[in-house]
Amino acid sequence: MHVIGTAGHVDHGKSTLVEALTGIHPDRLKEERERQMTIDLGFAWLTLPDGSEVGVVDVPGHRDFIENMLAGVGGIDAVLFVVAADEGVMPQTREHLAILDLLKIPAGVIALTKADLVDEEWLGLVRADMEAILRGTALETAAVVPVSARTGSGLRDLRQALMAVLADRPPRPDLGRPRLSIDRVFSQAGFGTVVTGTLIDGGLAVGDEVAVLPGELTARVRGLQTHKTKLEQAVAGSRVAINLAGVEVGQLRRGQVVTRSGILRPTALIDVRLDHLADTPLDLKHNAQIKLFTGAAEVLGTVRLLEHEALAPGAAGWAQLVLAEPVVVVKGDRFVVRRPSPAATIGGGVVVDTHPGRRHRRRDAAVLARLETLARGTPGELVLQSLQVLGPAPLSEVLAHAGLELSRKAQVLAELQASGELVELEGDALVISRASWSRLQAELGQILAQYHRENPLRGGMPREEVKSRLAQALEATQRSRWTPKVFNSLMARITQAGQVVVNGNAVRRVDHEVQFTAAQRAAIGALLADFRRDPYNTPSAKDSAARVGDDVLAALVDQGQLVSVSPEVLFLPEVYQTMTERLLAYLATNGKVTVAEARDLFATSRKYALALLERLDAQGITRRVGDERVRRA
């Protein structure tokens, strides 16, 4: 399914032509019909001679409504470019053409409307003017069709020309990341909240859980329609109306994006290749204020030029856009920039990196080289660049971030496996670049080495502390993605490689070994002898630490030479095991046990008996019922 959009100067007959082609008048607003001038986006659809249905977005032509026009042309496959034969090329003809060229709209048809009002000689002059202004643009080879909406002449040829253009356009790819930039929000009686837009990069189905970004809203797809036909599933490339459950009309606005949760993130900082229009009168200076248009979104921002102090008219360069509000974009998206005041279209370009993470230093050779790679790299290079932003991630998610189709997965895997630049943590369910993998290994080695130097008698660093310290070594853009699953997969792979040892909750380097001095060994021997001398009435933790030192006592617990039953009570491991077995045997016979009965069972004090029972409660072996313990089912 395809979508076409109109373009052209005000009062050149765009809406009238759409009605003649489709039978639907696209002007929705009362004010539009009263003024007979399109103010906002209008929508219709037509059936081509081959039977295919095509969505139509009708845009305003007046200069005061250029920004509404920009909200409608971002998702189209081809343009129906309208020029009135009795007036010819006008100011918005040129501006709309410049916008279409900036957005790289790949194809179109030129409709010379009101052809019934001029003679053949005049029509030839207008056609020549059109050929002149189209030269060097994406529409240079577009068919030019004279047409009259009033008499119907040329309409059949126009439909044939549109069919021929769209036949050469491939269907929109399914990248597994559906997104719909909202161009209209309204409430419909009996249904509730409805949004419309062009669905790209994937499909949506009734019942899907979706996110609305920016805004971090969640909703459910209650219903779908295309051209007023109910659907169970909408495909990429179609005009779609989505009935959303869980959100109110007042929470939504034009420019937000409907997508699946977790696959896209809003950003207020993007790296771009920026083209400055040749016919603008002024240079575009570093830190100039601009208004960005992408999809249906419109947001103010600042342009930071990374190579130059200014871009001359007709020049291009690398830039970073700092936005006043976040937008949702992906690599490869086209955009337009306008000067806020006096309002004028001044340029546009392509998004190269959606989450650069930080403001770049200007004239940094490494930054410029990276942007060149992102713009022109092989699929493998694009995946590696995306991994630099994402960190460890499923390969399918990385492909989507890089703007590659899922069908490229096998090719990318083969390319990166052959070069050794991809490390698979869980097959292609979780991958990381070789460079990031090596850096994380080195960081972990340094973190553990420092910990072992500072705590030579500890058996290892607590896992949560390892996770926290290791996450700090990541790029800022990756930290929010540092989930327990990712961390556990990394630790499993590093352990498998024989670089670290994980013992319960402790992580240590494989070459780390706790070593006691002769004096410490002597103190330990004397302490453990006292533990064996009266195994159920052992020295307290405080007394034990005073005899051997806090670090040595902690090491004895790490090594399993002592069991910490409570902050004050320690037992030998074999004694703790015996006490547990005897207590469970007592419960098997008697069904319950009190603290006093446990105390008498081991000829110990209440402190030791209570500590043992509370430890078994915490382990889920027993549970307290009043003043008694019973075996937990």
In the chain, which residues fall in CATH 2.40.30.10? 179-260, 267-365
Question: What are the structure tokens assigned to 567, written together?
Answer: 């902050």
The whole-number pLDDT of residue 618 equals: 92
Instruction: Give pLDDT tens digits for 298-328.
Output: 999 999 999 999 999 999 999 999 999 999 9
State the pTM of this model.
0.63
Residue 92 region by backbone torsions, left for phi larger than 0, else alpha for psi between -120 and 50, else beta: alpha
Q: Worst-scoring range by mean pLDDT, 64-68, 173-177, 429-433?
A: 64-68
Confidence of residue 631 (pLDDT cuts 50, 70, 90): very high
State mean pLDDT over 62-91: 78
Question: What are the structure tokens assigned to 461, written together?
Answer: 């660093």
3 state SS of 622: strand
- Give me the residues paired with residue 289 across strands: 302
State mean pLDDT over 609-628: 92
Please tell me the distance from the alpha carbon of residue 594 to that of residue 600, in angstroms, as a whole number: 10
Q: Report the percent of the chain where pLDDT is more than 70.
A: 94
- The topology under which CATH files domain 526-631 is Arc Repressor Mutant, subunit A (1.10.10)
Confidence of residue 445 (pLDDT cuts 50, 70, 90): confident
CATH superfamily membership of 267-365: Translation factors (2.40.30.10)
Write the single-letter amino acid at 574. E
Checking if the pLDDT of 138 tops 60, the result is: yes
Write the single-letter amino acid at 4. I
Question: What are the structure tokens assigned to 168, written together?
Answer: 């050469």
Confidence of residue 388 (pLDDT cuts 50, 70, 90): confident
The whole-number pLDDT of residue 322 equals: 96
Cis peptide before 214 (omega within 30 of 0): yes
State mean pLDDT over 600-622: 93
Instruction: Give pLDDT tens digits for 447-464.
Output: 888 888 888 888 888 888
CATH code given to domain 179-260: 2.40.30.10
The whole-number pLDDT of residue 476 equals: 47
Mean pLDDT in the chain? Answer: 86
Please tell me the distance from the alpha carbon of residue 96 to that of residue 72, in angstroms, as a whole number: 12
Query: What residue has token string 């036909």?
Result: 229
Checking if the pLDDT of 187 tops 80, the result is: yes
Q: What is the dihedral of CA 33, 35, 38, 40, to 10 degrees?
A: -80
Highest mean pLDDT, choosing among 3-17, 410-424, 616-630:
616-630
The whole-number pLDDT of residue 586 equals: 94
- Within a 10 A sphere around the Cβ of 514, how many other Cβ atoms? 18
Q: Worst-scoring range by mean pLDDT, 11-25, 177-191, 612-626?
A: 11-25
State mean pLDDT over 115-144: 89
- Closest by CA to 136, choosing from 279, 4, 267, 311, is 279
Q: Worst-scoring range by mean pLDDT, 65-69, 205-209, 602-606?
A: 65-69
Q: At what angle do helices 463-472 and 434-454 cross, to 10 degrees?
A: 130
3 state SS of 287: coil
Q: What is the dihedral of CA 445, 449, 451, 452, to 10 degrees?
A: 130
In the chain, which residues fall in CATH 3.40.50.300? 2-167
Highest mean pLDDT, choosing among 134-148, 546-560, 583-597:
583-597
In the chain, which residues fall in CATH 1.10.10.10? 390-395+419-515, 526-631
- Closest by CA to 297, choosing from 212, 175, 238, 389, is 212
> CATH second-level architecture of 2-167?
3-Layer(aba) Sandwich (3.40)
Q: What is the dihedral of CA 393, 394, 398, 400, to 10 degrees?
A: -140
Confidence of residue 60 (pLDDT cuts 50, 70, 90): low
Checking if the pLDDT of 64 tops 60, the result is: no
Please tell me the distance from the alpha carbon of residue 305 to that of residue 320, in angstroms, as a whole number: 7
- DSSP one-letter code for 116: G
Instruction: Give pLDDT tens digits for 489-540.
Output: 888 888 887 878 887 788 888 888 888 889 988 999 999 999 999 999 999 9
Question: What are the structure tokens assigned to 556, written together?
Answer: 């004895």
Q: Worst-scoring range by mean pLDDT, 52-66, 311-325, 383-397, 430-444?
A: 52-66
Which one of 1.20.144.10, 1.10.10.10, 3.40.30.10, 2.40.50.140 gives the CATH number of domain 390-395+419-515?
1.10.10.10
State mean pLDDT over 576-580: 94
Please tell me the distance from the alpha carbon of residue 589 to that of residue 591, in angstroms, as a whole number: 6
State mean pLDDT over 352-363: 88
Query: Under 8 Å CB-to-CB from 314, ≥6 apart: which residues?
Result: 276, 277, 278
